[in-house]
Amino acid sequence: MNLTELNRIATAMVAPGKGILAADESSGTIKKRFDAIGVESTESNRRDYREMLFRSREAMSQYISGVILYDETIWQDAKDGTPLVKLIESSGAIPGIKVDEGTQALPMCPGELVTVGLDKLAERLKKYYERGARFAKWRAVIDIGSGTDGRGIPSMTAIGVNAHALARYAALCQAAQIVPIVEPEVLMDGDHDIDRCYEVTQRVLNKTFQELRVQRVALEGMVLKPNMAISGKKCAKQASVEDVAEKTIRLLKACVPAAVPGIAFLSGGQSDEEATAHLNAMHKLGPLPWGLTFSYGRALQAAPQKAWSGKAENVAAGQRAFSHRARMNGLASKGEWQSSLEKKAA
Ligand code: 5MM
């Protein structure tokens, strides 16, 4: 393992003014997104859509540091035969790959999930590296709820097995000279308040870093992709932008060692503008010990998906919508965003 090189890539992924495009929707998820805009989820439509994003020159060269791909996409070529990975590289962004294989029900823990995909991962990583991937992603999913057996969710079992798998994956990535994005997502579904989210996320992050240490993962060669401390979507009392920013930074400072080069948030179902405003507000609370940016899926793609709607004549509009969101989040990653910039663009 060349840790200097892993650290260089991890640092580039969270460079100020840039962030990560999470375009790694699995087949089921992209179908849901396409259903919402009335587009059939065929292999060529998925390729055309992602090619549109990766050919968005302004977004890709100025505001996007890396792209997380799904297995299908990393092997796909653009319409003119250029591998999509090459399009990403030529824009100056780093190609990455989602390597988990989704979730399964966790035995003995009703309602809870464990992320799978460790079998043959070492071999898969080797092939992805040869194809150009320099970082990877594995997402664990932790729900907050009351549970059907009265024991409460999440259980220590779910937190423990998911942290163990995240660390196994991260160690395998580093051995393959690939930077692991470690994503333990505490879902914002549900009616819990921000303090409950804070408390659960703290337990999850502490356990995750404990496992990373036990399994000898080099913290200098990874990126953390966490949720923010935020109110559940159905909570009657929604925390303010300032509250989310203050509690998220307090939580991360308590749990994430300064050796970690960067933190890149998931958006988790927040609206586009909320996700941008939260990141921006966090940068008002600096200086921070790590790079802090975005790794958004929905909060970067909802607008371009709508503008594109599967029509070739809408490609330029889709690219404009993507570049706008990428620029807004790029500014937020430096604390330079203002809501008036959104209105001007509209
Ligand atoms: C883009 O969505 C990713 C893949 O999800 P599935 O495996 O469920 O299809 C997802 O992992 C994503 O990278 C993160 O959750 C962040 O995306 P959001 O939309 O929460 O910013």
DSSP string, 290-345: SEEEEEESHHHHHHHHHHHTT-GGGHHHHHHHHHHHHHHHHHHTTT---HHHHHHH
Does 225 participate in catalysis according to the annotation?
yes
ipTM of the complex: 0.91
| Annotated catalytic residue, options 98, 207, 225, 247 | 225
Mean pLDDT to the nearest integer, 309-335:
98
- Which of 77, 49, 51, 57 minimizes the C-alpha distance to 311? 49
Query: What is the predicted pLDDT for the residue at 179?
Result: 99
pLDDT at 180 over 70: yes
Buried b (16+ CB within 10 A) or exposed e, 311-336: eeebbebbbbbbbbbbbbbbbbbbbe
278 lines ligand 1 (CB under 6 A): no
Burial call 105-130: b when 16+ CB within 10 Å, e when fewer: ebeebebbbbbebbeebeebbeebbe
Asked if residue 147 has pLDDT above 90, the reply is: no
pLDDT at 3 over 60: yes
What's the burial of 142, exposed, middle or buried (CB within 10 Å: 0-12/13-18/19+)?
A: buried
Q: For residue 244, give the nearest of 225, 230, 256, 227 by alpha carbon.
A: 230
Is residue 55's pLDDT more than 80?
yes
pLDDT band at 320 (very low <50, low <70, confident <90, very high): very high
For residue 297 and ligand 1, the question of a CB distance below 6 A is answered with yes
Spatial neighbors of 118 by CB under 8 A, at least 6 apart, are 165, 168, 169, 172
Say which CATH architecture domain 3-341 belongs to. Answer: Alpha-Beta Barrel (3.20)
On the question of pLDDT at 148 being above 80, the answer is no
CA angle 18, 23, 29 (to 5 degrees): 145
Cβ of 268 less than 6 Å from ligand 1: yes
Q: How far is the CA of 29 from the centre of ligand 1 (A)?
A: 8
* 43 catalytically annotated: no
Q: Does residue 264's CB lie within 6 angstroms of at least one atom of ligand 1? A: no
How close is the Cα of 295 to the center of ligand 1, in Å? Answer: 9
Q: pTM of this prediction?
A: 0.97
pLDDT at 346: 53
Task: Assess whether pLDDT exceeds 70 at residue 39.
Answer: yes
Q: Are 300 and 286 in contact (CB under 8 A)?
A: no
Provide the angle, in degrees to the nearest 10, between the axes of the packed helices 27-36 and 43-54. Answer: 80
Q: Per residue in 61-96, pLDDT tens? A: 999 999 999 999 999 999 999 999 999 999 999 999
Q: What is the mean pLDDT of the chain?
A: 97
The predicted-structure confidence for 99-112, as pLDDT tens digits, reads as follows 999 999 999 999 99
Confidence of residue 152 (pLDDT cuts 50, 70, 90): confident
Amino acid at 326: A
By percentage, how much of the chain surpasses pLDDT 90? 97
Residue of 183, 207, 211, 247 marked catalytic: 183
92 alpha carbon, distance to own chain's centre: 19
Per-residue pLDDT reduced to its tens digit, 220-278: 999 999 999 999 999 999 999 999 999 999 999 999 999 999 999 999 999 999 999 99
Is it the case that residue 345 has pLDDT exceeding 90? no
Residue 215 reports pLDDT greater than 60: yes
Give the pLDDT score at 149: 66
> What is the C-alpha to C-alpha distance for residues 73 and 25, in angstroms, rounded to an integer?
10
Please check the confidence at residue 323 and state whether its pLDDT lies above 60: yes
**Residue whose CA lies nearest to ligand 1 atom number 14:** 266
